[in-house]
Amino acid sequence: MVETNPNEIVVVKSENSKINTVDFDNLVFGRVFTDHMFVCDFENGKWQDPKITPYQPMTFEPSARVFHYGQAVFEGMKAYKDDDGKIFLFRPKQNYDRINKSASRLAIPEFPENYFFKGLETLLKMESDWIKPGLGNSLYIRPFVIATEPAISASPAATYRFMIICSPAKAYYNKPVRVLFAEKFSRSADGGVGFAKAAGNYAAQFYPTGLAQKKGFDQIIWTDASTHKYLEEAGTMNIFFRIGDKLITAPTSDRILDGVTRKSVLQLAEDLGIDYEVRPVSVKEIKDAAEAGNLKEIFGAGTAAVISPVSAFEHADDVFEIPQQENSYASLFKKTLTHIQHNLSEDKHSWRHEVK
């Protein structure tokens, strides 16, 4: 069934929904996808023909540039539903701005704001039944763009495809994580693409993260590429440290992703009267604090991870267990953040965006 909605987005509805085959109580992150997807192509110098179609495989030529030169960027967002059935996004303009910032760094044309929001909101209204109410439930949203031109000369593509797919989600991590401080491998370097959500950033992490997992760790906290003396971010989240009652996190740079959850945590810290500093954080400082008993918490912050406590870290064969805090900052931030996202508390900064 083909329709054209008032926003000039062609909609092709799926004949049969697969929602009744999904066990929403036992979801594996990023493995189940909703019935529809948003698609828009860049051809002849402009983005055109936005449409929503049934979720389905796509066909590309083997010479499509994305396969050879990695011109691909993405975003991570979530939609939430309150007990009245209203759908909310959390600071979506931040994600829109960031995907275009990422795209520009990889010589990909920026995507129009009206297409982004009209396409996203139309898709979410169609997939409303996939968004379950209740804390811990959400619909993970993956906007992304890839180079589709069939040519293998080493230059930017002339054609691209922008897409949005959705996946029902629960917690990314269901228990505190154990992390390894990087000593050899690097996530990014000065002047590189660390600040961008470029697909290759994540592919390059898989090998060293796999080595860490073989040692019994879940993630790596990356250190600066020049000296490996300063802690920067983890593989799927920005990272925070609590020494005494002070919260500390590294400043963003061209090596570190400017996380939406990260900046929200900093604003919440200010709202809650929690002392915090944004400054370089050295490995030595954290190890010294752990040895002295002053390191109270480490936790990660990200769209998929939300707030994820760290239970232990290792560096140079030194392992430090982090005792669980009775009234942790991590639990306070998670509760405050998720209550805003699910329309359960005041939204003093107007972070919620209702999909109407």
36-62 pLDDT, tens per residue? 999 999 999 999 999 999 999 999 999
Whether the predicted pLDDT of 131 surpasses 70: yes
**Measured between alpha carbons, how far is residue 152 from residues 44, 108, 255, 341 in Å?**
19, 16, 28, 44
State the amino acid at position 293 in one-letter form: G
Instruction: Give pLDDT, residue 3.
Output: 46
For residues 132-161, give the mean pLDDT.
97
Q: What are phi and psi of 283, to 5 degrees?
A: -60, -45
Whether the predicted pLDDT of 1 surpasses 70: no
Residues 144 and 64 in one domain: yes
Residues 206 and 329 in one domain: yes
Q: What are phi and psi of 98, to 5 degrees?
A: -75, -35
Residues 214 and 127 in one domain: no
- Domain assignment present for 311: yes
pLDDT in tens, 80-96: 999 999 999 999 999 99
> Mean pLDDT score of the chain, rounded to an integer?
96
- Output the domain CATH number for residue 93: 3.30.470.10
- Domain assignment present for 347: no
Q: What are phi and psi of 294, to 5 degrees?
A: -95, -10
State the amino acid at position 23 in one-letter form: D
- Output the domain CATH number for residue 319: 3.20.10.10
Q: Which of 143, 169, 195 is the last residue of a domain?
A: 169
Whether the predicted pLDDT of 174 surpasses 90: no
Helix 92-105 vs helix 260-272: crossing angle, to nearest 10: 140
State the amino acid at position 253 in one-letter form: S
pLDDT in tens, 112-126: 999 999 999 999 999
Residues 149 and 104 in one domain: yes
| Best CA proximity match to 208, nearest among 195, 200, 220 | 220
- Collapse the DSSP code of 87 into the 3-class scheme (helix H, G, I; strand E, B; otherwise coil) and give the result: strand
pTM (predicted TM-score): 0.95
**C-alpha to C-alpha distance for 102 and 11, rounded to whole angstroms:** 28
Instruction: Give pLDDT, residue 2.
Output: 45
For residues 259-288, give the mean pLDDT.
98
Residues 33 and 163 in one domain: yes
Q: Which of 169, 190, 209 is the last residue of a domain?
A: 169
Whether the predicted pLDDT of 4 surpasses 50: no
Please, are residues 343 and 82 in contact by the beta-carbon 8 Å criterion?
yes
Provide the residue range defining the domain that includes 304. Answer: 177-341
Please, are residues 170 and 27 in contact by the beta-carbon 8 Å criterion?
yes
For residues 295-312, give the mean pLDDT.
96
Instruction: Give pLDDT, residue 8.
Output: 84
- Domain assignment present for 298: yes
Residues 185 and 149 in one domain: no
Residues 158 and 70 in one domain: yes
- Write the DSSP string, 88-104: EEESHHHHHHHHHHHHH
Which two three-digit tokens encode residue 106? 């990889």
Q: Which of 169, 204, 237 is the last residue of a domain?
A: 169
pLDDT in tens, 204-213: 999 999 999 9
For residues 322-341, give the mean pLDDT.
96
Instruction: Give pLDDT, residue 236.
Output: 84
- Domain assignment present for 354: no
Residues 19 and 159 in one domain: yes
**C-alpha to C-alpha distance for 26 and 342, rounded to whole angstroms:** 21
Instruction: Give pLDDT, residue 321.
Output: 97
Ranking 66-70, 192-196, 232-236, 335-339 by mean pLDDT, the lowest is: 232-236
Instruction: Give pLDDT, residue 7.
Output: 56
pLDDT in tens, 312-323: 999 999 999 999
**C-alpha to C-alpha distance for 229 and 206, rounded to whole angstroms:** 22
For residues 6-27, give the mean pLDDT.
91
Provide, rounded to the nearest whole percent, the portion of the chain with pLDDT above 90: 95
| Best CA proximity match to 233, nearest among 202, 270, 203 | 202
**C-alpha to C-alpha distance for 55 and 168, rounded to whole angstroms:** 14
Q: What total of structural domains would you count in the chain?
A: 2
Residues 128 and 231 in one domain: no
Q: Which residues contact 181 (CB under 8 A, 6 or more apart)?
A: 220, 221, 223, 231, 283, 313, 314, 315
Whether the predicted pLDDT of 202 surpasses 50: yes
Q: Which residues contact 165 (CB under 8 A, 6 or more apart)?
A: 33, 34, 37, 55, 141, 142, 144
Instruction: Give pLDDT, residue 5.
Output: 47
Instruction: Give pLDDT, residue 171.
Output: 81
Confidence of residue 235 (pLDDT cuts 50, 70, 90): confident
Instruction: Give pLDDT, residue 83.
Output: 96
Residues 255 and 317 in one domain: yes
- Collapse the DSSP code of 188 into the 3-class scheme (helix H, G, I; strand E, B; otherwise coil) and give the result: coil
Residues 164 and 194 in one domain: no
Q: What are phi and psi of 120, to 5 degrees?
A: -65, -50
